[in-house]
Structure 1
């Protein structure tokens, strides 16, 4: 790396970023959660408001942080469509000075979410063992001492300095195919980072506000709008997705379940957060029907576990996994239908938006 930029320290002001983590969430929600906390927002209220089913064939990437979105390239808006949260993928403008964008963001007092390969990071259990695409939050850069300050809420949680050389290796990794992690390897990192903007104002989560967003999401489940002829969305899209998954698995098509694990994690994480939020608000507002809807949505999240695990173990023999996939996807579809019905029942207890 050659640059005329004089080495110096670039660091966000104040304390290092706080950790935010949930068991069924991925590094995508965890890193955005840290950004939201620093901006003074409750990550659960922001990331847990929306709930959807959306599948885009051919788009899924073997990365822990893959998430389907109706807003091209904008993961922030995709995971929080009801709040002013946006993001854009960036790569260095000048290959000779790849850190320029990170410097600029940190100097502007913005956290950086960087894509990395766990294989090169000393604090990850996969260090020098397994290649896997992951996200970490960068909050400082000390080029004089050759250090990058990163935070990672994904267990084992870490917040501190790593050698710049290790960070650059992780950030520029080819992330080659690795039999030890067939789900998140074979996806080049390419010095990518997310430029996140937390806009405003952020609306208060009131019963009327919640009713409005629940109705908007419920309509998507009913209409199945996928914004494209090849996509699958809503309850009808879920039926199509699961039927094709089982049929292609029975035919022995390995591509049928190749994307199931990374795709399903995004759907599972969103359902888990949405269910938790509805449970919390139902308790706070003394609306048992809303808390019950939250439990129903959380049941969707847990139903995804059987589907994802069955697909993971069936990668080498899809035909043998087809029976298990048929059983688990039938449960998943029932849980979605029950949860959508429970949300509709909860809407009757909430005020009609003005």
Structure 2
């Protein structure tokens, strides 16, 4: 057993943070933000955009299109000083060294894992799927890793270090029971997150500035990394329908994964606007929040249609086109509603 900081007590268990329909990506970042005393909704709900990066979607629950060279924190929270970076152990003779050091410095770590090897996940011993959780303690004398996972069924507590290592280093093989999040090597990846807190108080003026920036982003047809704005949305849905009609299974596989990020973002942004609309007695802002949430609901229909048509893409092409039209209409309504709300602020 390594002697350096061999026994690391758990950091005080961080608050579990979850919203439906976010993924483990937003849940883990939300947990870290809450641990720092910040309101995750105010941070993760501030930005709203459309961004699709062709050939970038990976079969992981935590995939998110990122324009900032791997800095998922900046991508998730473009209006806040939130940054993150991926890392892997530098020494396979002591793979826990960096994790041990981070915890000794009271820094939470987000780890990529395979649900198949986690005893508290329903998929334990049954289904392989790439997932994220928060590590907040390591006790090598007892052979335990303390983890927090807000995704239902929520869990917070110790697991055997052997289970963690198997999950953290899993090859995550292709699994017919989960066609969307298997076949992506975990590779002992971790995320270090930097929260430059405390953040300024959320005011009407600050929120109005965020909304103007978000609206301007939707008017930009392209970005240096992919398809952006409403023009990018139109381009994406046209190509999705065309590829499905041509029988391309990969188009539907990536839809389910990519769409989750866009859906989660819209859900959080909509909730933030509803929350502040109620708190500040701004009916137009609350109405805009409901309109943005309707975008999230429209993503559900498109994603589920793709998932159920995974085995026969051409047969669901017309349904995908119809749901894509509904989604585009919801975006248009929500953008117009947000623009009106800016005037109210």
TM-score normalised to structure 2 length: 0.98
- The equivalent of 1:164 in structure 2 is 161
CA distance in structure 2 between the partners assigned to 1:4 and 1:284 by the alignment: 52
Deviation at residue 4 of structure 1 after TM alignment = 4.1
- The equivalent of 2:281 in structure 1 is 286
CA distance in structure 2 between the partners assigned to 1:121 and 1:7 by the alignment: 25
| 1:98 equivalenced with 2:98 (yes/no) | no
Q: Which runs of 5+ in 1 are unaligned?
A: none
| 1:54 equivalenced with 2:86 (yes/no) | no
- The equivalent of 1:181 in structure 2 is 178
Q: Deviations over 1:119-164 (max 9, x none)?
A: 0000000000000000111011011111101011111111111000
Structure 1 residues 287-326: aligned runs within 5 Å: 287-326=282-321
| 1:11 equivalenced with 2:6 (yes/no) | no
Deviation at residue 201 of structure 1 after TM alignment = 4.2
CA distance in structure 2 between the partners assigned to 1:308 and 1:100 by the alignment: 40
| 1:137 equivalenced with 2:134 (yes/no) | yes
TM-score normalised to structure 1 length: 0.95
Structure 1 residues 217-256: aligned runs within 5 Å: 217-228=214-225, 231-256=226-251
Q: Deviations over 1:102-127 (max 9, x none)?
A: 01110110111100000000000000
CA distance in structure 2 between the partners assigned to 1:255 and 1:118 by the alignment: 23
Q: Deviations over 1:183-222 (max 9, x none)?
A: 0000000000100111134121100000111111100101
In the alignment of these two chains, the number of paired residues is 345
Q: 1:209 aligns with which of 168, 184, 206?
A: 206
CA distance in structure 2 between the partners assigned to 1:26 and 1:195 by the alignment: 18
CA contact 2:38–2:198 (8 Å) conserved in 1: no
CA distance in structure 2 between the partners assigned to 1:225 and 1:118 by the alignment: 36
CA distance in structure 1 between the partners assigned to 2:118 and 2:331 by the alignment: 38
Deviation at residue 170 of structure 1 after TM alignment = 0.1
- The equivalent of 2:104 in structure 1 is 107
CA contact 2:288–2:341 (8 Å) conserved in 1: yes
Q: 1:30 aligns with which of 15, 27, 41?
A: 27
Deviates more, 1:198-207 or 1:128-137: 198-207
Q: Secondary structure at the match of 1:104?
A: helix
Deviates more, 1:298-307 or 1:219-228: 219-228
Structure 1 residues 343-354: aligned runs within 5 Å: 343-350=338-345
- The equivalent of 1:341 in structure 2 is 336
Q: 1:193 aligns with which of 190, 195, 205?
A: 190
Q: Secondary structure at the match of 1:213?
A: helix
CA distance in structure 1 between the partners assigned to 2:321 and 2:3 by the alignment: 58
| 1:45 equivalenced with 2:71 (yes/no) | no
- The equivalent of 2:121 in structure 1 is 124
Deviation at residue 252 of structure 1 after TM alignment = 1.3
CA distance in structure 2 between the partners assigned to 1:203 and 1:224 by the alignment: 31
CA distance in structure 2 between the partners assigned to 1:6 and 1:35 by the alignment: 25
Deviation at residue 226 of structure 1 after TM alignment = 1.8
- The equivalent of 1:262 in structure 2 is 257
CA contact 2:10–2:146 (8 Å) conserved in 1: no
CA RMSD of aligned residues (A): 1.1
Q: Secondary structure at the match of 2:344?
A: coil
CA distance in structure 2 between the partners assigned to 1:100 and 1:47 by the alignment: 30
Q: Secondary structure at the match of 1:145?
A: coil
Deviation at residue 6 of structure 1 after TM alignment = 5.0
